[in-house]
Amino acid sequence: MNSGYQEFKPSAELQQYVECYWLHRFETVGERESPVQRCMPFGTLELILHLDDNRCDAFFNGQWEKLPPAFLVGLYRDAVQWKTVGSCRKFGIRLRPESAMELFNVPIAPLFNQFTDVESYFGKEINRLVDNVYGLRDIGEVVRITEAFLLGLLKNAHSKQPHISEATRLIRQTQGRLSIDALSENLYIGKRQLERIFKDHYGTTPKMYQRIIRFRNAYESFRGMSSTPNWADVSYKFGYSDQAHFIRDFKEFTREVPTSIFLDQYQYFRLPEKQVRFA
């Protein structure tokens, strides 16, 4: 079985809303089942389209569930386990969480730690994108069609809740190291109001989103290293009170200690093969 993962940069007009596009592929003979894979909580939304007929299952609520051909994953705090049967190509649009309201005009609170098929959430208009990319072998064409669809939405994009968008961006810019008190002061709103709008829009608290973003930055800092990092140094760099605090947070989000994940280069996403920008 061969597998590969690539990321593709969005156009400049969409970088405020889209973190990247990605392609994950498995190639095998017949109905061979892939190894179980895990996706870490990254503080993003994932709009995922199967480009071919295939079966892909994810582990939710203690059992394997068949995933829809096109689905949206909300903000999540747990590592998601999934596998595929037979060859598979999945195309993903990794959205910044505020993009749900700004591009699609829908809150994602009901999808915290959940997923749903795209039509039930975005309406039938999204099927135009799903149908237009299905079966295409040229990933550049898939990206171009996706960009055209999103740029069409961008014409009507606006932020009805500037506080939630600015708060989310500030947490990312500071790599999750800005305290909630400081965040409230920066936005000139009270902590309770900030917590309420986060729960209304994202289904979780600003503190949880902050912790997820800090975890992500710590995780990504050591993915490309050739030798096991000094975990005390990682803890200090990303603002954890001590190494024990870092390891507790890491285990909460992954159910593993950092060293186990660092040494497992097959089950977990590592650095992408390359990033590609299409003209």
> What's the pLDDT tens digit per position in 71-97?
999 999 988 888 888 888 999 999 999
What does pTM read for this prediction? Answer: 0.90
Ordered DSSP codes for 130-141: HHHHTT---HHH
Higher-confidence residue of 148 and 32: namely 148
Higher-confidence residue of 80 and 150: namely 150
Instruction: Specify the pLDDT at position 271.
Output: 39
* pLDDT-based confidence at residue 160 (cuts at 50, 70, 90): low
* pLDDT-based confidence at residue 265 (cuts at 50, 70, 90): low
Are the beta carbons of 213 and 172 closer than 8 angstroms?
Answer: yes
Q: What is the CA radius of gyration of the chain?
A: 19
What distance in Å separates the CA atoms of residue 209 and residue 205, rounded to the nearest whole number?
Answer: 6
Listed residue (27, 85, 22) closest to 57, CA to CA: 85
pLDDT at 5 over 90: no
- Domains of the chain, first to last: 2-157 (2.60.120.10), 162-263 (1.10.10.60)
Segment 34-39 shows an average pLDDT of 84
What distance in Å separates the CA atoms of residue 145 and residue 143, rounded to the nearest whole number?
Answer: 6
Instruction: For residue 55, list its beta bridge partners.
Output: 85
Instruction: Specify the pLDDT at position 46.
Output: 95
Instruction: Specify the pLDDT at position 95.
Output: 96
Higher-confidence residue of 268 and 242: namely 242
Residues 6 or more apart whose CB falls under 8 angstroms from that of 275 comprise 6, 7, 8, 9, 20
pLDDT at 275 over 80: no
Considering the chain, what is the average pLDDT of its residues?
88
**Which amino acid is it at 213?**
I
Segment 172-198 shows an average pLDDT of 93
Q: Give tens-digit pLDDT for 167-179.
A: 999 999 999 999 9
Instruction: Specify the pLDDT at position 268.
Output: 46
For the chain, what percent of residues have pLDDT higher than 90? 59
Instruction: Specify the pLDDT at position 35.
Output: 82
* Angle at alpha carbon of residue 60, lines to 125 and 165, rounded to 5°: 50
